[in-house]
Amino acid sequence: MAATAKFGKPFVAPMSTDHDGFWKVDDTGAYQMVPANGTRECALAMSGGKVRLSSAHPNVVVLADAVTGQPAANNLMTFDSQPFTAFAFKLQAKSVGRTMILAEDARGRHLARLIVSVKAEQTKTYNPLILQDIRRRSKRKFEDITRIMREVEKLYLNQANVRLKTKRLPNVIFLKQDIGDPIDFTKKAVHDDINKALDEIKANSLDFNVVSSWNLVDGHQDVVGIDPAFGKTCFAEDYPDGTPLLNEVDTFAHELGHAFGCVHDGRPSNVLMSGDGSDGLQMTKDDIDMINKTGLTMP
């Protein structure tokens, strides 16, 4: 029986906040973000005899025992099982960079690879804002925005090692005119009015603006959130009362992903940057590397 191997994790539901920067690339390949000076636990599912793991660049990441944290001797770990079995191990970051963990059989035949990106912590600042014009105001309260963004902060730190921080309490963007309901961002006047209001409260001094609004459209298309070419300002419309918190977290985190430069193209369903309306909080490899551009090159 020939040895088989693949890297994986215990199942994490799409709308769970427990995602930690792991992404399955294909049947024999996977990706794991590891924070600088930190660790991540992974698993090797294998069968058919001995499988050896090694780090291509131990100056970036070393293999370690999942229980004790003891680094592997000579940067090698060997697992041996005929029936299908999953073995846990740890990745310990040594320096910012990119490397691969290789799984090979006893003859040195390549079985699977795990791309590892050790990322330096990046800090980005944001304004939590509530939109109001002369006729209406977003229904969310300041405490609602704070509760949602706390969860968004966890997602970005756990999956991309980006620390989102706000230096201000939630504020109101007040527009001295009626911008309509729904808000149509294809209209230049809407852009101009909102940009003027942002300048008046000096919102553009931070990296991003996260705005709670009422109903949104992009031309003739209904949307629940939008990053409408303001460069760093994203909007999330009010949800009905009783909407689960994580559904709102999904929308705010998704639109913030656009502000970082992430796109829908090529994304499957039920991930954070899906473009098909499905729900999910997991970032893909491409999203993680777009949000945090450290750890992209091998030594």
Task: Read off the pLDDT of residues 255-265 as tens digits, 9 standing for 90 and up.
Answer: 999 999 998 87
Amino acid at 287: D
Looking at residue 167, its pLDDT comes to: 77
Dump the DSSP string for 35-71: ETT-EEEEEEEEESEEEEEEES-TTTEEEEETTT-PB
Between CA 250 and CA 267 the distance in angstroms is 15
Strand partners, 5: 46
Looking at residue 221, its pLDDT comes to: 64
Looking at residue 112, its pLDDT comes to: 97
Looking at residue 204, its pLDDT comes to: 78
- Which positions ≥6 away from 119 have C-beta within 8 Å? 33, 34, 35, 36, 96, 160, 161, 288, 292, 294, 295
Of 128, 119, 108, the C-alpha closest to 53 is 108
Instruction: State the residue for tokens 């940057």.
Output: 273
Q: Which class for 45: exposed (0-12), middle (13-18), buried (19 or more C-beta within 10 A)?
A: middle
Strand partners, 183: 216
Q: Provide the 3-class DSSP secondary structure of residue 226.
A: strand
Distances (CA, A) of 155 to 146, 214, 292: 15, 25, 13
Task: Read off the pLDDT of residues 66-104 as tens digits, 9 standing for 90 and up.
Answer: 999 999 999 899 999 889 899 999 999 999 999 999 999
Task: With a cut of 70, list the residues of the chain below it in pLDDT.
Answer: 1, 219-223, 225-231
**Angle made by CA atoms 86, 88, 90, in degrees to the nearest 5:** 155
Q: What is the pTM of this model?
A: 0.94
- Which positions ≥6 away from 243 have C-beta within 8 Å? none
194 in Cβ contact with 173 (< 8 Å): yes
Looking at residue 78, its pLDDT comes to: 94
